[in-house]
Amino acid sequence: MNNPLLNPFSGANSSIPFDQIKLEHFKPAIEKAIHIAKEEVEKIKLNNDESSFSNTIEAFERGGELINSIAGIFFNLNSANTNSDMQVLAQDLSAMLTEHSNDIMLDEALFNKIKAAYNNSEKEILNTEQAYLREKIYKSFIRNGANLTESKKDELKLITNKLASIQLKFGENVLNDTNNFEILIDDIAQLDGLPASEIEAAKMLAEGKGHTDKWIVNLDFPSYLPFMKFAKDRNLRKKLYHAYGARGFNTNDFNNESILKEIAELRKTKANILGYKTYADFVLEERMAKSVDKIQSLWDELVEIAYPKALEEVAEVQSIADELEGPNPIKPWDFSYYSEILRNRKFNISDELLKPYFKLENVIDGAFQTAEKLFDIKFKAIDNIDKYHKEVLTYEVVNSKNEHIALFYADFFPRESKRGGAWMTSYRGQNKYDNKNQRPIISIVCNFTKPTTTAPSLLTFGEVTTLFHEFGHALHGILSDGYYESLSGTSVFWDFVELPSQLMENWCYEPECLNLFAKHYETSELIPLELIEKIKASMNFLSAYQTVRQVSLGQLDMAWHNIQEIPTMSVVDYEKESGAKTRIFESSSEVCTSTAFSHIFAGGYAAGYYSYKWAEVLEADAFELFQEKGIFNKEVAKRYRENILSKGGTANPSSLYLKFRGKEPDSKALLKKSGLLLQN
């Protein structure tokens, strides 16, 4: 078979030949790639020369390139453009890849070679990146069981195989439960309160499913969030809230309760086998935070200040509900509705007032202009490369000399084939092997408000910050400039990876940046200064509430991963118990966060959801320097690019941050930025 996946980057601009790739190509391509990878490993094992960095560590790093390419394409597509056949194949390929990974990482002869090269360190002079790679690869073998007895290795293999399968299943269940629910509305009065653009979007959803003169509201964010904010129909808000909160919790084929307990149990057992008390201990060994105690210390500092203020914020929202003769007490399905009214009153600002200034195409251009002003790179729209879906936008990134830097894909709208949320990913990493600088292929995937028949895609301000957030991740990949691919781009400690993304959000609040792109979609009028001032003033609206909520999610993550015994009580009861100290609203037995918590049960954030708050400390501290010197200051941007973005995971992130900032990060910067601590 002429399989395009066996040389997937041979097309124009070294892009991916999506148009040629068929589902049936993936399995034989993976089988072939595994065969090649095994030959590469055998070559290392059979080398009779003394084990060294070049013939062992570097050779291992270079091995498996084809597997990584093919698997990257497949699993990226499975997230962004999947179907039932692909989900079945995902289970099959995941099992094959996990088995291969186990075979490699638990190969005693290979590990002896790696260990010998590691122990020969005094005989070789290595640069910082080479030394870091050697340490990383040696540790990865240890952390994957290379020092275990054969019986323990066999046990670990069974666990990793099972985890790979059920983590995929967890994510599929969330997607299926999300797609499985919608409210078909035949009386427009039930949409009272919704802006005209949202009513039109709901009508388009219904028409797309063959319903005339009807409206559909579903659980995709562009449909769900506006309904919860604006719809007056409290019963429908409650119904939608419960549907969203019950994803993976319903009595159907997509229930995740037993699956998530099994995931937690398997992870705990894996950690125990490897010599750790809990899975959190295992994970945090390779994180900036290092220990749960350090994380808890940050949480305690934040909650001590934020929790009382969060209760005050909720009380203020309650006062609006009381004034309007609404419910007392308000429930979670009321909170967005009445808080939106409060926000409008306090700041005379709303999403509907701002959206005309945030046409998607203009916001994209604003992100590009921001990158150009900071880093002297340009994004050129191109149409000569394949796409995996017609809605995907494609760009070439070039430097000031018009030299190729990267390819960039952007996929912005929800569809049933795409999982919810927003993320950045890489189809190909950056390296400098064989005297060539292989440039990356980067993608961001979002679920934004779609265009309607009367208006283009107009983003809420929250969607604007989400785009800049994912674009910050993208820049981390695009500007990577290391030698080894496994250390390039976003291949960094998990509590460091959110620094570039969360830092980028800050530009959305600055007049100097907003004036680049925030123009009325009909009149091209620049966003008025008074609106910018209102955006800035409202930046910390409900910030204490949001802080407590983010901490509570981090604590829920640790409740599942920093334990030595899996709870026998129900998942929802365990949630109630673990979240008691940060609870704002009375808990409900009808909704469950854990069963749809894909970040920790299907993604890479297990024992790591704290990373968002940890990185917020870093970004608040970092942005203070930009504010001090100028948000487009070339000198600061150069220091940031050279010490953070280009370096990837080539050194310890604490040392990288110190080189950029010139000092250790200060948590008070976050408290001040959030309005929880008075500025000096």
Q: Which residues are catalytic?
A: 470
- Collapsing DSSP to helix, strand or coil, 266 comes out as helix
How far, in Å, CA of 85 to CA of 87, rounded? 5
Alpha helix positions (H), 348-403: 351-354, 360-375
Question: Which two structure tokens, joined as six digits, stand for 328?
Answer: 């007392």
| Sequence-separated (6 or more) residues with CB below 8 Å from residue 454 | 197, 200
Place of tokens 């293999």: 157
Cα–Cα distance, 168 to 98 (Å, whole number): 12
Q: Would you call 418 helix, strand, or coil by DSSP?
A: coil
CA dist., res. 476 & res. 481, Å (int): 10
d(CA 248, CA 252): 9
SS3 assignment, position 313: helix
Return the bridge partners of 526, or none: 519
Angle between helices 461-478 and 360-375 (to 10 degrees): 40
Distance (Å) of CA 653 to CA 130, 336, 496, 614: 16, 37, 7, 13
Query: Which class for 610: exposed (0-12), middle (13-18), buried (19 or more C-beta within 10 A)?
Result: buried
> What SS3 class is residue 350?
coil
DSSP 526: B
DSSP 424-490: EEEEE--B-GGG--BPPEEEEE--PPPP-SSS--B--HHHHHHHHHHHHHHHHHHT---S-GGGSTT
The dihedral built from the CA positions of residue 493, 495, 499 and 501, taken in this order, carries a sign that is positive
Neighbouring C-alpha atoms within 13 Å toward the C-beta of 423: 16
3-state secondary structure of 380: strand
In whole angstroms, give the CA distance from residue 394 to residue 287.
34
**What is the rounded CA–CA span in Å between residue 115 and residue 118?**
5
The letter for the amino acid at 303 is V
Instruction: For the beta carbon of residue 312, count every other beta carbon within 10 angstroms.
Output: 11
Q: Cα–Cα distances in Å, from 340 out to 188, 310, 429?
A: 22, 16, 42
Beginning with the edge strand found earlier in the chain, give each strand of the sheet holding 393-399 in spatial order.
Answer: 377-381, 393-399, 404-411, 441-445, 423-428
Structure tokens at 406: 């990267």
Secondary structure string (H, E, C) spanning 169-197: HHHHHHHHHHHCCEEEECCHHHHCCCCHH
Biggest alpha carbon–alpha carbon distance for the chain: 83
Run of H or E residues at 393: strand 393-399
Question: CA 660 to CA 641: how far, in whole Å?
Answer: 9
Instruction: Determine phi and psi for 405, rounding to 5 degrees.
Output: -110, -40
Type of residue at 371? A
Both structure tokens of 447: 């679920």
